[in-house]
Amino acid sequence: MRIEQLEYIAAVTRLGSFRRAAEELHISQPALSETIRNLERELGVEILDRRRSGAKISDEGRELLPHMISVLEAVDRLRRTAGDHHSSARTVRVGAVNSASTPLLAPAIRAFRERHPATQVELIGTQQEVIQRLILDGGVDLGLVSYLEGDDLPPELDTSVLVRGRPVLCMRPDSPLAARAEIHSAELLEQPLIVMRSGYTMHRFVHRLLAGRVPAFPYATDGAELGKLMVAQGLGVTVLADFSVIGDPLERSGEITWRPLADSDTSVLLVIQRPRSSAASPAARDLREIFVARARGYEAERARDEAAGDAAQRKPVAAGRGDSGLAGSSPVGSSSL
């Protein structure tokens, strides 16, 4: 029995095809098939169920699969440990959607660099689907992606919620909509609306919110950061998760602001994902723990800000004073991470 035989079976099981597995492993399909056949003959068990439509793990193979995964994980740990000893500098690769940059990404990496000054962090900003494919293929160690509450989570990935937010409308402070306490979806139809391209979570949300209605002048853009820049330049408004706007440099400088959507109770979840079936390096595990800790602090700070805002709205006006209390309600102040 050879380790590569187990790796080949794992690849065919994950991809559901000898052809795709051979392409990923950079070997010929006959060589892949023969290598797996040799292991099946050695064990006396048909591990894969071969069909015209593809290949999947057989009932007998399913019983052996946990043991094969344990062996592969042990080998992976051995290789990673040897790599750690061989080189003092490592690289942790992180795939991230744009919405993660404001509340967590930069602060977490700054804290990680203080603990691991010799370890490089490679950031890959792209769409959620690409990030998840990179996680499964080993192209990144961790992924920061967003979901709408109720979305199905991929079972092959370990997923932990970091931040729970809500969709808001992002606009310039001089927009007429900024005078409103909240915005109704019908009002978006009258605005130049900057919509994320297909493949982004907020693209799905906006189409669901508008229910087939088309804005007067829609734009399509690639990611939250570009959307916020377009808003700051006066090109329109956009719908983003609140944690992507609150604390953003453009929001802190007063170039953009936000208002809640009146007719939406959808939650947006920022999550961190990693492979479920492979062991992470010590550096990747440490970075994940930093993200989780930063997320707890961020959520606690948001809760304090919201509580302070509620208390300020309930505070009575002192008798005999000339001021009239709060001039109006406004969104929660920016968070500083």
User: How large is the C-alpha radius of gyration of the chain?
Assistant: 25
What letter would DSSP give residue 101?
Answer: I
Nearest to 185 by CA among 149, 227, 213: 213
User: Looking at residue 219, what is its pLDDT?
Assistant: 84
Nearest to 61 by CA among 40, 41, 38: 40
CATH 1.10.10.10 maps onto the chain at 3-86
**For 54-57, which contacts have Cβ atoms below 8 Å and span 24 or more sequence positions?**
54/16, 54/17, 55/12, 55/13, 55/16, 55/17, 55/18, 56/13, 56/16, 57/13
Which of 237-258 are b and which e, b meaning 16 or more Cβ less than 10 Å from the residue's Cβ? bbbbbbbbbbbbebbeeebbbb
User: Looking at residue 327, what is its pLDDT?
Assistant: 32
CATH hierarchy code of domain 167-266: 3.40.190.10
User: Looking at residue 134, what is its pLDDT?
Assistant: 92
- Is the Cβ–Cβ distance between 176 and 162 less than 8 Å? no
User: Tokens 């023969």, residue?
Assistant: 34
Which of 161-198 are b and which e, b meaning 16 or more Cβ less than 10 Å from the residue's Cβ? ebbbbebbbbbbeebebbebebbebebbeebbbbbbee
CATH hierarchy code of domain 91-162+271-304: 3.40.190.10
Residue 258 pairs in a beta bridge with 170
User: Looking at residue 84, what is its pLDDT?
Assistant: 56
- Is the Cβ–Cβ distance between 176 and 299 less than 8 Å? no
User: Looking at residue 268, what is its pLDDT?
Assistant: 94
CATH hierarchy code of domain 3-86: 1.10.10.10
Residue 241 pairs in a beta bridge with 167
**pLDDT tens digits for range 198-216:** 888 999 999 999 988 888 7
What letter would DSSP give residue 87?
Answer: -
User: Looking at residue 83, what is its pLDDT?
Assistant: 62
209, two tokens: 């919110």
Please give the average pLDDT of every successive group of 10 residues along the chain, which has 337 residues: 83 85 86 87 86 82 82 78 56 86 83 90 90 91 94 92 94 95 93 90 92 84 91 95 91 95 93 86 91 90 72 46 33 33
User: Looking at residue 324, what is its pLDDT?
Assistant: 30
User: Looking at residue 300, what is its pLDDT?
Assistant: 85
How many C-beta neighbours within 10 Å does residue 43 have?
14
Q: Which residues contact 275 (CB under 8 A, 6 or more apart)?
A: 135, 136, 138, 156, 157, 158
Sign of the torsion angle spanned by Cα atoms 324, 328, 329, 334: negative
The SS3 assignment for 293 reads: helix
Query: CA-CA distance, 246 to 102, in Å (whole number)?
Result: 8
- Which string of DSSP letters, residue by residue, matches 39-84? HHHHHTS--EEEETTEEEE-HHHHHHHHHHHHHHHHHHHHHHHHHH
CATH 3.40.190.10 maps onto the chain at 91-162+271-304, 167-266
The SS3 assignment for 106 reads: helix
